[in-house]
Amino acid sequence: MNTILLSFVPLLFSSLVSSGFLEYDQNVILPQDWTQAGRVDPSEQLELTFALKQQNVDLLEETLRRVSDPDSPQYGKHLSLQEVSSLVRPSALTQKVVHRWLQTHGISNCRTVHTQDFLQCSTTAEVAEALLPGSRFHRYVRNGHSIVRSSSPYSVHNEVHQHLDFVGGLHRVPPREKDANRKGPRSKAGAHLGVTPAVLRTRYNLTANDVGSAENNSQAVAQFLEQYYHPADLAEFMQMFGGTFQHRSEVDRVVGTQGGGKAGLEASLDVEYIMSTGANISTWVFTNPGRHETQEPFLQWMVLLSNMSDLPWVHTISYGDDEDSLSTAYMTRINTEFMKAGVRGLSLLFASGDSGAGCRHLGKENTFRPSFPASSPYVTTVGGTSFKNPFKVTYEVTDYISGGGFSNVFKMPDYQVSAVEGYLKSVKATLPPQSYFNTSGRAYPDMAALSDNYWVVSNRVPIPWVSGTSASTPVVGGMLSLINGQRLSRGLPALGFLNPRLYKLKGPGLFDVTEGCHLGCLDEKVQGQGFCAAPSWDPVTGWGTPNYPALLAALLSQ
């Protein structure tokens, strides 16, 4: 499947109703480009995911801070999956109440995960509608694909609500595929040769010796919504563009099921470029189509991370969704899942998006529109840049599509307060009106890389002018994997959650990007412009782009 932040409607418990059930405040987003094909048969088998309330979430967050802060005595002392499970496992009461509730409705075909905080259960539509009053399941179709979702809000018994964060598989539909962009050349046709692995390695000062060698090192990309890579494309790409550095031409492990049909441009881009900067490093592909029409692929990936003890150290994900289209309950729980990954020493990198600051139209007023998970305080978010001179490997400026801004949901984490306040103060005179953004929210991106005019091989065809932060994210991920390899070979722990350390570096190891602005609302007040780059950190390119040898030296110090 394709990866865009996707198909789940987390539930926010709000008001009791007279029947003894608690109704959820839900983002019921009805399919606009999906065609309703009618109610499903009562005997239709559905798959639902129940997110059980976890214990010790505050302690989990404090543990993440300690193991990620280079000034902490606990820095790098990451937890095992078993230790994470012992920390967050739902209480015996929560497990008992939820299991009893399901069993009372005859639901017993359930799978759990190592941390016991997710249950995935099979049941019929008839039973699901009785379990979740108000739900009405229909089948929807689009471009030959089919999903099953409920078209109306639902509730759960009021004795159960305090033991669940949300139920996945009911409402939210996958957005239309947001594949990597084809911008077309910015100069006359044929004049720009485009970004290739050699161009990236030149710009970011990677030598032929900067390839992976540690046996216990690995990296991964995650794909959703029927986005697949083709092994033949990867082999041809490396034959064309990998001649100057030692590399691998095969993915070592695919987790999930690779579908047939055409390769996706997004999947091809992700795999080919993480294996170009993270050269000669074992690479995994998580492909998450979902086993059933009611399953939500991004959620399936999160569940997998909670159930696998042996995982790559770096994961890059090139998709997101508008923050306002997701419920706070859902995003809060997903943040907890990100924290669970971080305390285990995993680095999660998300693309910042390709809509600049975004724009949300609210009556006569507009505001910028942040993206999630880019706005999560617990992931490293990657923005995009372009070459100043499109004909040469020069310094970089802002790519106008680079996503960035301030969360409207999550407060600014302590690790970035100083940097963000410094930016807001230094550019105060030229900032967009404060009604457009939340100055106290989590600000992103954290860093950036080239995102403009890439060459990709997809379906055995070399394709030029592919652009987007879905390119810059695996490029950064590959370089962090190289640094992990160097750390592991010296007996140091993996980088894990990078942000606290990145913000304490305050720029060394990165090329500062100080020119250019990204997109904003097309109105009289901001006239299509969002935020602009500035010295040090900014909400367009973060701290800048990697200068690999300097960044390696800075991140090998501890």
Stretch 207-218: mean pLDDT, rounded? 95
Contact 277, 478 (CB under 8 A): yes
Stretch 375-382: mean pLDDT, rounded? 98
Q: What is the structure's pLDDT at 317?
A: 95
Reading the block at residue 508, the tokens are 């060394």
Express each pLDDT in 276-309 by its tens digit: 999 999 999 998 754 455 556 788 888 889 899 9
215 belongs to the catalytic site: no
Model confidence at 27, pLDDT cuts 50, 70, 90, reads: low
Active-site annotation holder among 129, 233, 266, 354: 266
Distances in Å between the Cα of 265 and the Cα atoms of 182, 259, 268, 457, 481 are 10, 14, 5, 8, 23
CA distance 405 to 407: 7
365 belongs to the catalytic site: no
Domain segments of the chain: what residues?
24-54+89-168, 197-556
Stretch 341-355: mean pLDDT, rounded? 97
- Among the residue ranges 14-18, 277-281, 459-463, 473-477, the one predicted with the least confidence is 14-18
User: Is the predicted pLDDT of residue 84 greater than 90, yes or no?
Assistant: yes
Model confidence at 98, pLDDT cuts 50, 70, 90, reads: very high
Kindly state the helix (H) or strand (E) to which residue 21 belongs, with its residue range: strand 21-25
User: Is the predicted pLDDT of residue 533 greater than 50, yes or no?
Assistant: yes
Stretch 188-199: mean pLDDT, rounded? 70
Over pLDDT 70: what percentage of the chain? Answer: 88
Stretch 367-392: mean pLDDT, rounded? 95
Q: What is the structure's pLDDT at 40?
A: 84
CA distance 529 to 520: 4
CA distance 166 to 168: 6
- The torsion angles phi and psi of 44, rounded to 5 degrees, stand at -60, 135
CA distance 211 to 74: 30
User: Is the predicted pLDDT of residue 24 greater than 80, yes or no?
Assistant: no
Q: What is the structure's pLDDT at 295?
A: 55
Active-site annotation holder among 318, 470, 472, 481: 470
Reading the block at residue 12, the tokens are 């926010």
Mean pLDDT of the chain: 88
Q: What is the structure's pLDDT at 438?
A: 98
Model confidence at 187, pLDDT cuts 50, 70, 90, reads: very low
Model confidence at 325, pLDDT cuts 50, 70, 90, reads: confident
User: Is the predicted pLDDT of residue 31 greater than 80, yes or no?
Assistant: no
CA distance 15 to 552: 52
Active-site annotation holder among 270, 399, 446, 512: 270
What secondary structure letter does DSSP report for 420? Answer: H
58 belongs to the catalytic site: no
pTM of the model: 0.91
Q: What is the structure's pLDDT at 500?
A: 98
| 172-197 exposure pattern, b = at least 16 Cβ within 10 A, e = fewer | bbbbebbbbbeeeeeeeeeebebbbb
- Among the residue ranges 80-94, 126-140, 418-432, 511-525, the one predicted with the least confidence is 126-140
Over pLDDT 90: what percentage of the chain? Answer: 71
- Among the residue ranges 91-95, 198-202, 327-331, 515-519, the one predicted with the least confidence is 327-331
For 197-556, the fitting CATH number among 1.20.1090.10, 3.40.50.920, 3.40.50.200, 3.30.479.10 is 3.40.50.200
